[in-house]
Amino acid sequence: MTRSYLRFGIQLPHDPKDLILRASIFADRNGFDSVFTPDHLVGIGIKNWSSYEAFTLLGAISQVTTKVKLGTCVSDVLRRHPAVVAQFAVTLQDFSNGRAILGLGAGEGMNLIPYGIESERLVSKLEEGLKVIKRLFEEEKVDFAGKYFKLSNAFIMPRRRVPIWVAGNSPRTMELTAIFGDGWIPTAGMGAKKYGENLKKIRELAKKFGREQDIEAGVFAYIVIEESYDEAIKKIELPAKFLALMSPARKQFLSAAGIDVEKLDKLGIPDLFGFTFSEDKVKRAVELAKQIPFDAVKHRFVFGTADDVIQKIEEFSKAGAEHFVFTPLVRHSDYIPTIRRLAEKVLPYFKEVGEV
């Protein structure tokens, strides 16, 4: 069954630079609709935590691609003032000929705590940051007296709108999506049924707030696609458990598996809002992750053969998802083979693609 309206993107690896550029060019030439990059000071990983600055990277990618949308998945308003974030986004929009997407979220501990950046009241700061950025995109002069940000006679030039996608699954971040978002980019971990329910809430709220434009329904998913289901499980099992251990929603699914979630904080393994990377902490997290039954977390990921991946996409598509952003949860050496399998064996099922 063809789903010609569906769009597909990839999130790039944190490093190395040659792989990042190669993956971007591959996506641009092989039927993908978007390329996103993490916006981190610290890359998420078990051994390698390298990470490049997101907007500089996207600027470089804009010069070697011509088709794909280019976005952050996601930035925050804590490490940079919202005005600086807005300026970055407008710069990318102009130098990519209108292909920019500004993904925004509340922020994560690894990018804040080690650098002395206040990590409390994150969603409230996101809300103010969204207000500031939207106004700078649209107004000649901005006066703003918030609790966290204050502007007087402020402006950016050139000034233009850039699509904003909001990340998050909580009631409050979904409300912010309804008020400010041109797109929504939550994780697939909630499952297709819950995704559909939340998307309906967002669109109902958007109407309540008098918004007329549609909100693009994105979904972010970690993926492993292999020739066999067993090989996919072999590659995804430990990384999936490690990521699930740090999920802000971990209490819901780990408790059901008999894991005492409250003890994790005492053991120095908080969720992503408080987790920071060190050799000792990651070692402890990996050992704990190994104890988690894979059945308790596998629903949070997309993995298997091409047919398995297609089935998962269909589930989310029926729930309303329109734009899938896949992050290959694999070693660097397996990254290009993974997106190649997507291009050759998954995308053609849903739409026409170019030559591989």
| 191-216 pLDDT, tens digit each | 999 999 999 999 999 999 999 778 99
3.30.980.10, 3.20.20.30, 3.30.465.10, 3.40.50.300: which CATH number matches 7-229+300-350? 3.20.20.30
pTM score of the predicted model: 0.95
Write the CB contacts of 234 (distance below 8 Å, at least 6 apart in sequence): none
pLDDT for residue 5: 81
Tens-digit pLDDT profile for residues 275-334: 999 999 999 999 999 989 999 999 999 999 999 999 999 999 999 999 999 999 999 999
**How much is the average pLDDT of 129-155?**
98
Provide the 10 A C-beta neighbour count for residue 344: 14
Q: Is the CB of residue 104 less than 8 Å from the CB of residue 184? A: no
**With 90 as the cut, is the pLDDT of residue 50 above it?**
yes
- For residue 224, the cross-strand partners are 303
Give me the DSSP letters along 114-138. GGT---SSHHHHHHHHHHHHHHHHH
CA angle 320, 321, 325 (to 5 degrees): 175
